[in-house]
Amino acid sequence: METTGENLFQVKKERSYISCLVNGCSYGFRHLGMLLRYMWPSLVLSTVLPIPFVFFFAAQVDAILRKWIELGYLPNVTLKVMRRDVEKCANRSALKVLIYIIWLLVVFVFLSLPVLFGIGLWWGLIAFIVAWLLLLPLSFVVMQIGYSNITISACFKDGLKTAYRNYGKLFAFEFLSNLLIFIIALLGSIPCQIIFAAGLQAYRGMQIGDVLDLPVLFPLYVALSVFILEAVLLITILVFSFSRCLMWGSLVNEVPTEPKADI
């Protein structure tokens, strides 16, 4: 593990989207042990109670990535050492999470409305794809907010311009990264799927007169399966955040810098 500067990694460098994805994920996975020692408070709290502690998780991730951008390597840090860095970027990280929540809500509305009005599932999927494509440039805006020190207004104004100029590259990166995250989440949801299938089968049997024979600890099994899924998602997001940071670094030279931030 490179906790000193003997193996510097240049974040702000022109790279292909494949290179950003592969190098970022491999770097994050290679340092996962150290990252978990630093991230465990927010990981545990976000697993048990996602809201509001996901904001804490986002602030920790952004703080360590900013340190990576600044130093060119990941120092062997703890939350106590990084406390001021986490506090410094907490507001910008919170804004990132809020944008993601609004983004998800809008996309979900586009997906669900055609189904609710009886137009059909296929129209809902088409509306979902259209909404995702239209909102895609916001992904670079979110990167700008998390990793740069320019003002929030500049993050939106200049960030959107950069995103549209590099739309193809951004689309390919987001599509592949989201697809991989979905596959990993699908694998992490296997315990949930097993528990859900067992519960559904038991309740169907009860409807036709069978005795409900679920174990007494079944609610605990449900909670554990959900916690496993949440932990897998959070760790996956943590690892993939290094790829997002590299994608930002490959495009950031086109964006003007300003010394002060709104938030």
pLDDT in tens, 103-113: 888 888 877 77
How far apart CA 25 and CA 94 sit, in angstroms, is 24
Above pLDDT 70, what percent of the chain? 87
Give the contacts of 235 (CB within 8 A, at least 6 positions apart): 32, 36, 43
Residue 46 · residue 238 · CB < 8 Å: no
pLDDT at 183: 94
Query: Are 39 and 60 contacting, i.e. CB atoms less than 8 angstroms apart?
Result: yes
Q: What distance lies between CA 217 and its chain's CA centroid?
A: 32
Which pLDDT tens digit goes with each residue over 30-80?
Answer: 999 999 999 999 999 998 888 889 999 999 999 999 999 988 888 888 888
In angstroms, the CA 159 to CA 148 distance is 11
What is the distance between the terminal CA atoms of the chain, rounded to a whole angstrom? Answer: 34
CA 212 to chain centre: 39
Region 164-190 average pLDDT: 92
Cα 78 to Cα 80: distance, rounded to the nearest angstrom: 5
Could you tell me which residue, 261 or 126, shows the higher pLDDT?
126
Sequential DSSP letters for 16-72: -HHHHHHHHHHHHHHTHHHHHHHHHHHHHHHHH-HHHHHHHHHHHHHHHHHHHHHHS
